[in-house]
Amino acid sequence: MTVTNSLLRQPTKLDYASPTQFKFSILKLPKVEYFCTAVNIPGINLGDAVQATSLKNIPIPGDKLTYEPLQMTFWLMKI
């Protein structure tokens, strides 16, 4: 069985012009980084409410934002 140090497998040079290399880090986990191959930008929707009147319903901008999920694909290496 071959044992490989995972720190030695980290990319040493990132090609910032490549559309398939993203570095994702989390502020609360400063020592954790993911090298992603695909990431989407989630959508944000502002709902609206309808005020009923005798003539026509009036749409009123809502006060709650709805976020779509963040989807991320990253590459796993087998050891």
Residues 9-55: pLDDT tens digits? Answer: 666 666 666 666 677 778 888 887 777 777 888 899 888 888 888 88
Domain count, the chain: 1
Host domain of residue 61: 19-74
Q: Assess if residue 38 is contained within a domain.
A: yes
Q: In angstroms, how far is the first alpha carbon of the chain from the final one? A: 10
Q: Assess if residue 14 is contained within a domain.
A: no
Q: Assess if residue 51 is contained within a domain.
A: yes
Burial of 22 (0-12, 13-18, 19+ CB in 10 A): middle
Q: Assess if residue 79 is contained within a domain.
A: no
Tokens 């570095």 identify what position?
23
Question: Residue 20 has what pLDDT?
Answer: 61
Q: Report residue 65's pLDDT band, with 50, 70 and 90 as the boundaries.
A: confident
Whether the pLDDT of residue 78 is over 60: the answer is no
29 or 76, higher pLDDT: 29
DSSP code for 19? T
75 or 23, higher pLDDT: 23
Q: Assess if residue 8 is contained within a domain.
A: no
